[in-house]
Amino acid sequence: MPQPLAIAYVTSQESIEKAASEVKQLVQEEGLNCLINNAGINVVANLETVTAENMLENFHTNSVAPLMITKAVLPLLKRAAAKGTGMGIHRAAVINMTSLLGSIELYWGDRANSFKWYPYRTSKSALNMVTRCLAVDLEAHGILCMALHPGWVRTDMGGPEAPLSPEESISCVLSVIGGLTEKDHGSFLHYTDYDYARPDTHSVHQMEVLYEELGHRMSPGTSCTNLGSSLDLASMVDLEEENIQGSLRFSLFYDQLQSKLVVTVLDAQDLAVRDFSHSVDPFVWVRLLWAEREDEEQNSMQCVLDEWQTRLVKKSCSPVFGDQFSCTLTEEEISRITVRFEVRDFDKYSRHGVLGEARAALNSLKLSYPLELREDLQVPKKDMVGEALLSLKYLPTSQRLEVGVLKIRTVCHPNKTERALYARTSITCNHCKLRHQRTAQKKRWEVTVFNEVLTFTLPDQQIRECTIIVSVYEVQPSKKSFKRLIGHIHIKKGKTSENEHWKLMMQSLRQPIAKWHLICI
């Protein structure tokens, strides 16, 4: 496991200052992007057994130490914050690990009769106030401050009955920290009532991998050789970007002797600069879309035959790529192929911006010789790649939302090897992922039957304001590392196209309501 940058005994001011000096030597002029105050102890004592020494011991570690550590590294945080705009770990952030047990608002009713730990609970309440005070004082410097409840975890403190492993907790924490923005400044994020949805098995890595991922997320100038292998399109910014400009030059050629389509991404010109970064790091995502039918007027469903990505060109509005890709196709298949080029702005937190797209329908082109084209970038359009029968049920008394994944119909190329499908359901609120679960894998058919119900327990207000994202993935049983996103479904109260299903669910409480939804990419 990678060693920490510096070790500090959090109750020793001398040790804290020594660690801060070591961190300064390591980060130098770049400054410190993110401080996570994670150290904590639990001194168990009820009203009968609590002593002043108990209280002071817990307060020193859980409340005082995070404040002193933050003070010690504050010059490094300010140095990093001065290099950017907005708020988040791309600039500078202080994350204090707190607990639901420190919440005064939640300590009512049945909750008030459990965990009567005076030292621990009051120390976490104090930590929440320390965080709020830091948020006020550091806002002018652009340093994001917030408190985060990491879940009930199977550590020495959490005990063996806790539902989350350390790996799962770290995975959830990373996904939250990577998406923090100004709206989270000074807030207290938590998972409610110790009811946790397990992360997907593919996202639960060994501790070494998670620490390495944390290092990549925190360090400036992260390079990426495979920009989209794990990219979830639901995490991208809205595709309805207003500032679309520039053009893309590419060439297409069909080699009849080898039955290969050759696609070359040459360059782009005059790409839009994103307002918050004042620069652009472009790359191009190329997809081959195969239509179910040749008749375009019927708006047939499509599937992704192959997809590639170019190299990343940093800080260039007119990048030169020169990347070439090929795919084996028959002449009959060419007439059903559309090549979709998405120009994206790389973001090391996987929130890649969309700078525009260009398309080429091959049925109208003569490709016996290399054909070079330059197309103006357009606002990206979504393609229909399938449909899914979903059921929704809301139980307000138990604050439970049930999402049923019943059937999924997708288009599959007849020459594809045996594949399987699974669906991942995420619940988000204010662009923050609260829960996610996935179905089991099922062998892929034209209509794949799942009949699985995924249950999410959330506060009533979050359920009423949340967005449900169902992402469908294709896997190949013979290749454990193979995973391809097929498409997404978004269900949200305020989204017009999905409003009917949401409205029916709210009108028919405690009853499952089923409806077909289009899967788009």
pLDDT tens figures, 123-170: 999 999 999 999 999 988 989 998 888 877 888 787 777 777 787 777
Question: What is the pLDDT at residue 182?
Answer: 64
- What pLDDT digit, counting tens, does each position of 421-478 carry? 999 999 988 777 788 999 999 999 889 999 999 999 988 888 888 889 999 999 887 7
Contacts of 144 (CB under 8 A, 6+ apart): 87, 88, 89, 91, 92, 93, 94, 180, 182, 184, 185
Q: Give the Cβ contact number of residue 508 at 10 Å.
A: 13
Q: Is the predicted pLDDT of residue 507 greater than 80, yes or no? A: yes
Question: What is the pLDDT at residue 5?
Answer: 56
Mean pLDDT of 324-347: 91
Annotated catalytic residue within 9, 18, 78, 120 = 120
Strands 420-429 and 467-476: antiparallel
Annotated catalytic residue within 9, 18, 78, 124 = 124
Q: Is the predicted pLDDT of residue 221 greater than 90, yes or no? A: no
Residues 171-209: b if buried by 16+ CB within 10 A, e if exposed? bbbbbbbbbbeeebbbbbbbbbeeebbbbeeebeeeeee
Contacts of 493 (CB under 8 A, 6+ apart): 464, 465, 499, 502
The question of whether 422 is a catalytic residue gets the answer no
Q: Is the predicted pLDDT of residue 497 greater than 90, yes or no? A: no
Residues 224-253: b if buried by 16+ CB within 10 A, e if exposed? beebbeebbbbbbeeeebeebebbbbbebb
Q: What is the DSSP string of 203-256?
A: G---HHHHHHHHHHHHSTT---SSTTTT--GGGSPPS--S----EEEEEEEEET
Question: What is the pLDDT at residue 461?
Answer: 82
The question of whether 120 is a catalytic residue gets the answer yes
Question: What is the pLDDT at residue 387?
Answer: 93
- The better pLDDT of the pair 416, 389 is held by 389
Question: What is the pLDDT at residue 91?
Answer: 87
Kindly list the distances between the CA atom of residue 337 and the CA atoms of 295, 340, 404, in Å, as whole numbers in the listed order. 12, 10, 33
